[in-house]
Chain A
Amino acid sequence: MKKYMLILLFIFVPFLLSADPITVMESLLTEREADFGKAAYLVFTAAKLIPEDATTEAALEMLREKGWKRMRTEPGPPTMLGDFSYMIMKSFNLSGGIMFSIIPGPRYSAREMKFRGFTSGDTAVTRILSGEDVVRIIGRVLEFQEALQ
């Protein structure tokens, strides 16, 4: 009996821990300071870099593997505009300005995102994003990609 229980646990635990875009989105909408792991999950699934049933941990692991310089890789809140913008720019292969080409990183990613109309207001890299901000920005990037196609 115990053996069967253990086998069942091994089969179902991955499904229990795996994420889903709608669940992650709804969870983010309740967060005044977005969790960086969830933000990374949504960005990578939107950019089709990981499957939708991957976990937020898998998303962070992907981020570490990418090895992007000056990129945060730790989970938890808050998600800052600079890190988030940089993740979007790299995941969606968006070109930046001259300074982004010379020093790619959070600072010039945040400026580029505003220039493209994906974000508005303050471009300080330390600006904290809410869950709603994260989802809205990803939505705008997807809208831009759709228009390109």
Chain B
Amino acid sequence: MVKRLIISIFIFAAVCLPAVTQDTARVKEFSGKVQFKEGSGGWQSIEKGTTISLGSTIATSFNSTALLDLGSSELFIKALTSMTIENLMREENKVTTSLKLNVGRVSAKVKTGEGLTHDFKLQSSYTTAAVRGTEFDFDGVRIITKDGVVTFYNKIGQKRTVLQGQQSTAVTATETPVSTEVATEQTTVVEPDTTEEPAETPDLATVAETIEAPSVTIAIQ
């Protein structure tokens, strides 16, 4: 009787409770010198097909790149970049991806699907990019959206929505991300006045480190 009860409970749990799987990242392609380490372990060279697990840090040297398959997204890591995989979780209709860009530049393609919720967060020490079904370039302070929509946060949680073809920057952790028009204007304007005006907000990076960056979950229609 007790045995039957225990078996019934296990069957019930397997059927009713959502299946939560931990994804891993896989190296799709690479060039030059790319290494990774698991937690506080030693550095290991990667090869095509290498699996990178949660908590690992991947780093590229000069003239080196790597393309990672994260399941529901693809990440192109450019030269002189260090990135840590903080979370890769899949539960039925929801995918959670959380990456920390320690330094450098990445391009990301986040896949969409009907009824799929993708919580994709890419955080640097200054800013956070939260994305939905999109492609973008990010170097920690500047976001350029190539496709889709990115929400770009500073450490206080002030945000800018950055559409395809737009860009925004936040040069200090507490500076409000510049409007997409200001970011565009910086490339079109020639300023003949050489007077230097100081920044309104200083870089309070040390204190900003103590603040957890915000994240967002957006349902993809």
- Which one of A7-15, A72-80, A115-123 is at the B interface? A115-123
Judge whether A29 and B35 touch: CB under 8 Å: no
Mark out the residues of chain B between 105 and 156 whose CB falls within 8 Å of any chain A CB in the assembled complex: 105, 125, 139-141
Mark out the residues of chain B between 47 and 61 whose CB falls within 8 Å of any chain A CB in the assembled complex: 57, 59-61
Query: Which secondary structure dominates chain B's binding surface?
Result: loop
Inter-chain CB contacts under 8 Å: number: 69
Residues of A within 8 A of B81 (CB): 139
**A143 at the B interface (CB under 8 A):** yes
Judge whether A132 and B79 touch: CB under 8 Å: no
Task: Given A52-B62, A132-B125, A136-B140, check contact A142 B171 (CB 8 Å).
Answer: no
Interface size on A, residues (CB 8 A): 25
Judge whether A121 and B171 touch: CB under 8 Å: yes
Residues of B within 8 A of A60 (CB): none
**A135 at the B interface (CB under 8 A):** yes
Residues of B within 8 A of A143 (CB): 105
Min Cβ gap A32→B in Å is 8
Judge whether A23 and B125 touch: CB under 8 Å: no
**B33 at the A interface (CB under 8 A):** yes
Measured CA separation A20–B140 after assembly (Å): 23
- Give a binary string over A106-149; 1 marks a CB under 8 Å from any B CB, 0 the rest: 00000100000000111100000010100110111011000000
**11 contacting pairs across A/B (C-beta < 8 A):** A21-B62, A25-B80, A25-B82, A26-B57, A26-B82, A32-B206, A52-B61, A132-B103, A136-B141, A139-B81, A140-B139
